[in-house]
Each structure stands twice: as structure tokens, then as C-alpha cells.
Amino acid sequence: MIINLYFCNGVQKESVTYRLVNNPVSKRWIKKIKHLSRVPHSFLETTGLSFAQNIENIHHEFCNFAGVVYHKTNYSEQQSLNLLHELYVTNHDRLSKLKNNKILYEFHNAIHELEKQIGRRFYIGWGTNEGPLEEQFDCNEYYNETLVKNNLYLPWTELGKTPLHCFQNNEPINFQKFCNLAKPHVTLRAKFMIALQDLDPPALSQEFQQWFLQFRTPWLKHYNIRDWRARDEHTGVLLAEPADANMDIEKLLEEFPNFHSVELV
């Protein structure tokens, strides 16, 4: 299967060609892309817009939309960002069913930008249009050991945080809250990413592993997964590789910085 990704700069378009790899996740993912290839992508879920620079106004607007009291926040403190994320999670199911709810996703993206979780990756997604195509599937089993620049990957996109992010963000957690907040990659969505640099995941620190011991065994059993490795925190499932081994996605994005569309051949 050939995948053509188109990028634009407002005047011209340029394409880059990928070949689908063969694994159980890529086979399911490409079926979703086939349905979504004629649907406009979500600007909220696709790299290109920045929301963090307008976080205070977005926070105000979210609280008004959710009908909750706005509290002045120090957006440079992780503890404050944890509370904002909890506010988002608490209200997500209710607000996601309402019309004109884009502020819900702007708020979520702004929080993650501030937490610097985006990294050297280019994300492409369709937002709420992906919903009907979501399926439950254990994706971690197929995670790659490393990320290779230019390749397409399925990233972790759960509603919550990974165990390492819970540890890094100093989440005050008991086991029940940990199960609700810490999620393995069990939802297969259409959203994907392009690796903008090679990544050999750093080993999980001894401090994290010691902290994780209190939750590890029952958490793995709860989600019916076998292990939790460095790759599960940092990489993704390989979906496709560029047809041209000499292609450099970063150089292409310098001239054509915005995603336009996808075509299957």
C-alpha cells in the first residue's frame, strides 16, 4: 500500500510517498485512513498551531464553557498543570458530547505543550471525526525499540498519562486513581506522527522503577498487558517508511510547513 502525504505553504503543495509496513496495527490503522482520507484533518490535533502562548485566555474560555469557577493559575508550575489536566479529564466526557466544543481540545493541547510532551514529532489527526473508527487493541505489544527519523508511527494517544508522566508530574496517587489516570496504549486511533529525529529511548530511571513498584503488578493485570518498558513511554508502532530513503522530512517542512491531505494508492 502506497501512502502520499501532502504538505503546503499557502501557495504550493508538495508530496512525500510512504510504503505501509506489515504488522497487525498498521493493517488496522490503514483502514481508518482510507475512511478519513477525504475528511478534513483537525487543525487542533495536527502540528502547526500553538495554544500554550494563549493559555490564560484558553483557560478562562474553558471554565466558562464547562460552567466551572476559574482560578488564577501559575502555568509554569507542574503541580498547577496537574490540576488543569485533572479539570480537563473530569469534564471531558460531558463536554465532548456538546456542540462547538473545540475549546475542550484547545485546553488539552495547551496543557501538554506547557508540559513539553510534544518533542521532535509532527502529529496528524482528525479529532472527533476519528471517534467512530476507534477500537480497543493492545498496541504496546508492537512498539518499536527506537524511532527512526522520517518514519510514520502510531503514538500513545490515551485520555490520561503514561506511568512515567505520572511520576515526573508528581501526581498524588493511590492505586485506584493511578489506574484511572495511567494508561497503556489500548485505543487504536487514526492519529499518527512523523518522527523528526532518531530516538533511542533512555532507560527508565531507578527512581521511577522504585516508585512504580507499588502499582506495577496489579496495574499490568488490570490492563492485561505483560510488561512496561522504556519503548512504551517513548516510541510507538511503526506504520510506514518513506519510499525514498534519502528523503528528509525536516527539509520538506521548512518549505511546506503545513499538512494538507493524505492519499492512498
Q: How many alpha carbons fall within 13 Å on the CB side of residue 119?
A: 16
Residue 40 in this model has a pLDDT that exceeds 60 = yes
Please tell me the predicted confidence (pLDDT) of residue 43.
83
Distance CA 250, CA 61 (A): 34
Q: How many alpha carbons fall within 13 Å on the CB side of residue 76?
A: 0
Identify the residue with better confidence: 45 or 244. Answer: 244
Q: Which of 9-13, 117-121, 139-143 has the lowest mean pLDDT?
A: 117-121
Q: Residue 200's Cα: distance from chain center in Å?
A: 19
- The C-alpha cell at 257 is 510547513
pTM score of the predicted model? 0.79
Is residue 211 within a helix (H) or strand (E), and if so which, with residue range? Answer: helix 206-212
Q: Residue 252's Cα: distance from chain center in Å?
A: 22
The total number of residues written for the chain in this structure: 265
Distance CA 55, CA 89 (A): 17
Is residue 165 within a helix (H) or strand (E), and if so which, with residue range? Answer: helix 163-168
Q: Which of the four pLDDT bands, split at 50, 70 and 90, describes residue 110?
A: confident
Residue-wise DSSP of 127-143: GGGGGGG-EE---GGG-
